[in-house]
Structure 1
Amino acid sequence: MGRLSRSLFVKQAVLTLTLAVVLSLLSSFFQVLEGVSAEKKNINRFFGDILTIVENPIAEATFRLDKTLIKQQIDSLLLNSNVARVEVKDEAGEVFVFGQSSQTHFPVSKSVADFLFPDLHSYHRSLILRKPYFKAGQLIIWPEKRVLAESFLIKHASILMYNLVKDLLFAFIISVFFYFLITHPLERLTQVFTSIEEDLDRPFPDIFSRRHRFDEFGRLYVSFARLWQKLKHTKDELERSYIHSMAVIEHAADGILLLDQEFKVVFLNTAARAMLGEQASVTLNQSAQKVLDDETFNTIKHHIDTMPPDTPLTLETLFKGAKKAIPVEIHLAQFDLQGKVEILLLVRDVTERIEAQEHIHQLAYYDPLTKLPNRQLLIDKIDDYLKHDIHEGQFGALILIDLDRFSTINDALGHNVGDKLLVRVSEELSLLERESIILARMGGDEFAFFVMGMDKQTEVEGFIKAFAQKVLVLCATSQEIDQHSMHISASIGVMLFSGQNWQVETIVKQADTALYRAKEAGRNTYVIYENTMQAISDLRLEKEKSLHRAIELGLFELYYQPQVNNLGELIGAEALIRWDDGERGFISPSEFIPLAEELGLIVDIGSWVMDTAFSQVSTWLEDGIWLPSWRMSINVSPVQFQQYGFLAMLKEKIDKYQLPTCCVDLEITENMLLTDLDSSLEKMKLIREMGVHLSVDDFGTGYSSLKYLKILPINRLKIDQSFVRDLLDDKGDEAIVFSIIALSKAFNVSVLAEGVESVAQFERLQEIGCYFYQGYLFSRPVSSSQFVNECVHGLKMN
């Protein structure tokens, strides 16, 4: 038997036997599982019958306290090897009589028995005497699982062996059948190939009988016979292939030049001749130096002389075409063909690619709107200046320009007008460009001048100040765009630097810091960077990072400050956010809330406050700690209140915690109304319709108190603590508090005083008609657990 057939037969036999064993074991395994289930039912039935038989005799013996009879019954049960232990307990649950099997040796281990019958533990039967009716106790029988397992395994061992032998025999028959059906015909086919592989002209022999004529072997034989015929025509095909290859070369889009060992051109395809034009005829048998510049030709010659064959080279150069030099990419390959070295040049015209690269460069480094250098190009220019051009004693300056309130123009008149304005401003600023002054657009409404090569610091500062003034004047010029007359201004930040020990990022950062200070100074001005600005900027950046980290890690906590009436009874609480930074301790909300509003984080923080407060009140309501008449006051930021989806978010959270709306009191500031009075009033009315209460916080400190008070749909005014603090000593503050109380009564609105810290303040507020309070006199803001222990249980309940 040949090696192929022998190997194939052995592999098939091993695989078939292995599969048979595996399938047999799997089949037996499922049979065992089914047998275990059936055996469990038989065991349960067996022990149920035993319990039924001995129940009445043992019940009567237990009633008569006849331990001897009970012992006899137990001993008779233990005679059965399937019983391990029997206990009889009296009506109090105490063991009255017990017995245990004396068997100590078992063929089956306990672990095997537990595996087969893991849920087989013990059988219980209550002992009840019918006449007279008496609960005598309980009978408990423990089965001997090892004996049961032994019986089960003996019963199924013969089945397992039978299945295994049957499957092995079946696998052997399949293997023999496989040999005669497949392996033997393959062996014959292999012998035929071996006998004729060196003689292509021999006819392909007919080796298969009629029974293989139409099966897979027959079709395989036909396929090989046809392949054999095709091999006879290989020589003709190779000749045709050569002709075809030449046609492909002639019609290739790239120019192809073939050089001999002396670098003379021996072949040109059609594309190469088209590149050369009239020169093509005189180029043949001439040096390739006629179509390449000297540097490229020397590079190719050096590569051929120094590098082994089959070492490619790719370079870009100019090809001396018929009318002009053409930018090309040349791919060079040298090869040894029967001892003769030939050099192949593939020449590709890359004019379009270079034009595309130039276009990409334009897009990458120039602003498409204003055609000015963009931020990246300006940064590269500064970096290059710092590395190569700046000299000792010379100064450079980066001047950042930001158009004030440009976003208002965009929003009001549209981006089309805004873009035209940017183009007009860039044209005006371009008037200030010089050889040493580069103008760039940094993005959006921000421009920058990079000034180079200035000497002597005093003259530098004078020049920069005069330059900044010119920029301000140019930007402040009235502009007419699409029949719109616009007056704009600019804020300017200047960073002066000298020497090479600078990083571009630092220069840009410090110029941006100066620009930020110019905006803080009221806009339409310029600020030259000073070192103290960086410390302020770094501190702000650190605060921003800490605030982001606090939101990500959930470092906030809600504290609750009780609100009481004139009888000292609790009427609600205000939820106050607290932030323990860990390193800096507790940070005042007055410090981080404005920063959160500026960074746009206040919406997430406000949403977290509502979630936490609503969840807490809902829990307290379920536990009977919070009365439905109490209100939880929550401060709402103007930024959050003006959000489009604020009302939907509020309703969703109230529904989420199934919170009565009468328990919610939203505190807003009166300055919030200055942004958009009509929209704010509409939202407030919808909030009131939901049943949610509204309070105006810090009343009296804003600018619109008296003007808008009569139209506000509010429930309560909160007197700012700054008026309560000096209530007893400052007649002016007392008059303000008295006026607020009088106004609240006139408009049928309740009033609550914040910051009540002394009994004297408390009594004076009562005298002038204020009956609701909040302050340290009653409690500081405390955690939720402290609020329950110290405020709910410590103060009178309304």
Structure 2
Amino acid sequence: MTPAQHSALFAAQQQIIEQIALGVDIHLCLHNICEQIEAIIDSKNAKSSILTLEGNQLRHGAAPKLPPEYCQAIDGVTIGDNVGSCGTAVYTEQQVIVSNIATSPLWANYKTIALAHGLQACWSTPIFSSDNKVLGSFAVYYTHPNAPTALDLKLIERFTHLSGLAIEKARSVAREKALSLELQRSNDKLKAFIEVIPDLGIIFDEQARYIESYGASNELQCNSLNNEQRISSLPLGDPNKVISIITKTLKTEQVQLYEYELNCMGNRHIFEARTSIINNYLLDEPNKKHVLWMIRDITERKLAEEQVKKLVFYDPLTTLPNRRMLTDTLELMISESKKQLLFGTLLFLDLNDFKRINDSLGHVIGDEVLLEVAMRLKTVIKNAGIIARIGGDEFVILPKHLSSNKNNAQSQAIVCAKQILDCFKNPFKINNCSYKITVSIGISFIEGPDTTSNDVLKRADTAMYSAKKFGGHRFAFYDPALQHELDLRLQLESDIITAIKEKQFVAYFQPQLDCQGNIIAAEALIRWIHPIKGIISPYYFIPVAEQSGLIDQLQSSVLFDACMLIKTLEQTQQLHDSFCVAINISACQFITHSLYNNIVSIVDAFGISPTRFKLEITESILLDDMAENIAQMQQLKAKGFRFSIDDFGTGYSSLAYIHTYPVDELKIDKSFIDKIHEGNRGSAIVSTIISLAHNLGFNVIAEGVETAEQAKTLTQLNITGMQGYYMAYPMPAAEFISWLKQQRNS
């Protein structure tokens, strides 16, 4: 190296190191490095380039003399074997000298672009960090084939090292800036949290001395704390307890919890403290540990918990003990009964027809009735037992006294039950109105080594239903036979639920014909196709479905099948305009007000006109809440549905009301059809019903027609239509369609 080159190299190094130290922009610094080596290497053809490694790609750093198009083309190249000089050098972490790009196998995939820009030689050296990690590549290009001299290699080594220092310094500065920015963001977040949280944080040192505080608490009045204060002067409760908790936190390095009460500004407040270790809290004392004492006012939460506790054990309406408290008390009594071989009793009360009051007069009146019931029971029982409301209109009396003799326990229960019945003799006067309320009482014994609280309640509930069964406003003791009957009912209810899920319920269709034998309608009749028991009669499961609230789902199944049938017949053009399907409606569907939505939603979904359906109701519906039922019927009539009174003549005498209801048809019950040939009296009743129907503008259908003689007589009496085994049995939909085709072809 000539003295002039040596001097130039020294000056270049000095300038570059100053730029690195001053934090000059990395691109300017790398640009200067390239220019300096190009000047010292003393060749107009030398063109230097610095690429930085990001992941496994090389990105453009500086290349003052290289064509911009070439720099752009190789920017982002992925390192690997045979990826030019730079990609290979970085991948292998070794210097790669290519004196002739045109013939080098390393440039096989890249020589076209290099030669297109007049580049024929490339010497590339990997740039390393101080911890020997590859940062990029330093390259010198020539516009003619050329190999480096020893001086060239020495210069490249010097400037490669300078490039590494520059890149490493720039990345370090970038990391510091990112960390500083992240720290600033964290501080800003912490500051924002501290400003809005209601908690107060206090810092203590290892000697439990106050250091400083964060946050604010008006209740604690800690805004003017200073590090001269002792723990005894801080609003933290018992100082000895505070010191103990701080010591335990330092020893275990685990979060500690502490609750205490203070009188703040004349009011009782409950606070919760949580502690945690803080390391390196003070910069000048990094080895010392500190404790963060976080305080939160939990007064409202504690009061709410107390209120919840009351709600857990007491009925919110009557303030009587609820089922949970009753069960706990009953279990204690059962335990005492078992230990001392004593007998006790439990009385289960249910108000008769309370649901009618709730539905017709509203829950406000219903609640007033329940409050009055609670008051009357309190006057009877006083301190002799526990009165609990366990749900709805159900109350339980649990006498406190246990007897050594079962007969004595029974006698005491009878006296208590009679007193309860007596207290219901007088009407309930609410809002200047009087209501007659009666009650049914079931009584069970607390006895036996295996008795549980659930057993006692279940038996009393069963006995209560027995009292209802015999007319209500009476009491009854538990009868095992009745329990068996109830168990069977519950099992049937469970089987119905399973059958609904498994789609075991289907509709059968029985034709209704006019006097000329033409089909005018069909009644959809539900059938339970049990996989083991076969077809189960509706008379067996319909009452249970009604009582358990499952009737809506059963009817939806029937209506769905009816819609499918009508849709099929319409598509095959087998229906005349007046044909309709009769659907049976349960009285309980009127009570729950679910009828309109359930029916309309299914019919609308199929796009079928409601005129295709007539809804069959029983006479009992006509007399039960007349105004409300008429309103529901009129709503359905307005939609297009028709109404038929099923089993007419067997229910209540509704002749006085029938003209006020929006009905279209009467169905004469089978019991009258069976007697139609039993003298003049039998046919007279049927004739009267037919005449009544015609005079009121109703159609009239005879059901249960089983003989030709019955059909002939009904035809002579001008019946609108007939239904029964004489015409056809109920059939599945597919069989009904086939039957219909045969009728049309015959």
1-structure distance, mates of 2:712, 2:333: 73
1-structure distance, mates of 2:336, 2:216: 51
Q: TM-score, normalised by structure 1?
A: 0.60
Counterpart in the other structure of 1:268 = 231
Counterpart in the other structure of 1:360 = 308
Query: Residue type of the partner of 1:373?
Result: P
Contact 2:204 2:293 in 1 (8 A): no
> What's the offset of the Cα at 1:746?
3.6
> What's the offset of the Cα at 1:18?
12
Query: Residue type of the partner of 1:246?
Result: I
Output aligned runs, 1:547-558, within 5 Å: 547-558=496-507
Confirm whether residue 498 of structure 1 aligns to residue 447 of structure 2.
yes
2-structure distance, mates of 1:168, 1:600: 88
Confirm whether residue 187 of structure 1 aligns to residue 165 of structure 2.
yes
Structure 1 unaligned regions, length at least 5: 23-160, 195-215, 228-239, 256-265, 281-287, 320-325
Contact 1:628 1:660 in 2 (8 A): no
Query: Residue type of the partner of 2:726?
Result: L
Confirm whether residue 463 of structure 1 aligns to residue 441 of structure 2.
no
Confirm whether residue 781 of structure 1 aligns to residue 730 of structure 2.
yes
Equivalenced residue count is: 588
> What's the offset of the Cα at 1:620?
0.9
Q: Pick from 533, 537, 542 the counterpart of residue 482 of structure 2.
A: 533
SS at match of 1:628: coil
Q: Pick from 604, 612, 621 the counterpart of residue 672 of structure 1.
A: 621
> What's the offset of the Cα at 1:377?
1.1
Contact 1:12 1:175 in 2 (8 A): no
Deviations 1:270-324 (A, max 9, x none): 236x857xxx8xxxxxxx6xx99xxx99xx9xx99xx9765777688999xxxxx
Query: Residue type of the partner of 1:391?
Result: K
SS at match of 1:707: coil
Confirm whether residue 622 of structure 1 aligns to residue 571 of structure 2.
yes
Query: Residue type of the partner of 1:548?
Result: I
Confirm whether residue 759 of structure 1 aligns to residue 708 of structure 2.
yes
2-structure distance, mates of 1:686, 1:251: 63
> What's the offset of the Cα at 1:698?
1.3
2-structure distance, mates of 1:401, 1:443: 11
> What's the offset of the Cα at 1:162?
6.9
Output aligned runs, 1:126-275, within 5 Å: 187-188=165-166, 245-248=210-213, 268-271=231-234
Q: Pick from 656, 660, 664 the counterpart of residue 707 of structure 1.
A: 656
> Which segment is superposed worse, 477-486 or 466-475?
477-486
Contact 1:478 1:486 in 2 (8 A): yes
Please tell me the root mean square deviation across aligned C-alpha atoms, in Å. 5.5
2-structure distance, mates of 1:648, 1:441: 34
Change (3 A) 1:178 1:756: same
Structure 2 unaligned regions, length at least 5: 1-29, 31-49, 61-73, 80-107, 128-134, 140-159, 185-202, 222-228, 263-268, 279-284
> What's the offset of the Cα at 1:395?
1.7
Counterpart in the other structure of 1:375 = 323
SS at match of 1:458: helix
Counterpart in the other structure of 1:717 = 666
SS at match of 1:561: strand
Query: Residue type of the partner of 1:620?
Result: L
Contact 2:515 2:721 in 1 (8 A): yes
Contact 2:53 2:59 in 1 (8 A): no
> What's the offset of the Cα at 1:386?
3.0
Contact 2:441 2:474 in 1 (8 A): yes
Change (3 A) 1:631 1:426: closer
Deviations 1:188-235 (A, max 9, x none): 5868999xxxxxxxxxxxxxxxxxxxxx769959989x99xxxxxxxx
Contact 2:583 2:616 in 1 (8 A): yes
> What's the offset of the Cα at 1:645?
7.0
Contact 1:254 1:349 in 2 (8 A): no
Deviations 1:468-490 (A, max 9, x none): 11112223344444544444222
Q: Pick from 306, 323, 348 the counterpart of residue 400 of structure 1.
A: 348
Change (3 A) 1:8 1:697: same
Contact 2:513 2:723 in 1 (8 A): yes
Q: Pick from 469, 488, 491 the counterpart of residue 437 of structure 2.
A: 488
Contact 1:699 1:720 in 2 (8 A): yes
Change (3 A) 1:478 1:169: farther
> What's the offset of the Cα at 1:585?
2.6
Q: Pick from 429, 433, 438 the counterpart of residue 377 of structure 2.
A: 429
> What's the offset of the Cα at 1:674?
0.9
Counterpart in the other structure of 1:772 = 721
Query: Residue type of the partner of 1:270?
Result: S
Change (3 A) 1:472 1:328: same
Query: Residue type of the partner of 2:314?
Result: Y
Output aligned runs, 1:273-672, within 5 Å: 310=253, 357-387=305-335, 390-410=338-358, 415-433=363-381, 437-452=385-400, 453-640=402-589, 646=595, 656-659=605-608, 663-672=612-621
Query: Residue type of the partner of 1:607?
Result: S
Change (3 A) 1:624 1:515: same
> What's the offset of the Cα at 1:467?
0.7
Q: Pick from 628, 643, 646 the counterpart of residue 697 of structure 1.
A: 646
Contact 1:312 1:332 in 2 (8 A): yes
SS at match of 1:626: coil
Q: TM-score, normalised by structure 2?
A: 0.64
Query: Residue type of the partner of 2:165?
Result: E
Change (3 A) 1:366 1:571: closer
> What's the offset of the Cα at 1:694?
3.5
SS at match of 2:423: helix
2-structure distance, mates of 1:492, 1:387: 25
Query: Residue type of the partner of 1:426?
Result: A
Change (3 A) 1:428 1:169: farther
> Which segment is superposed worse, 653-662 or 462-471?
653-662
2-structure distance, mates of 1:358, 1:168: 86
Query: Residue type of the partner of 1:599?
Result: S
> What's the offset of the Cα at 1:457?
1.1
What percentage of aligned pairs have identical amino acids? 28
Change (3 A) 1:395 1:315: farther
Change (3 A) 1:353 1:676: closer
1-structure distance, mates of 2:668, 2:111: 93
Change (3 A) 1:217 1:461: closer
Query: Residue type of the partner of 2:396?
Result: A
1-structure distance, mates of 2:125, 2:568: 73
Deviations 1:225-281 (A, max 9, x none): x99xxxxxxxxxxxx9979952449999999xxxxxxxxxx9734236x857xxx8x
Query: Residue type of the partner of 2:407?
Result: T
Query: Residue type of the partner of 1:618?
Result: K
Query: Which structure shows the higher helix fraction?
Result: 1
Contact 1:572 1:631 in 2 (8 A): yes
> What's the offset of the Cα at 1:367?
2.5
2-structure distance, mates of 1:363, 1:656: 45
> What's the offset of the Cα at 1:414?
5.3
> What's the offset of the Cα at 1:361?
2.3
Change (3 A) 1:519 1:169: farther
Deviations 1:358-378 (A, max 9, x none): 443223212333332221111
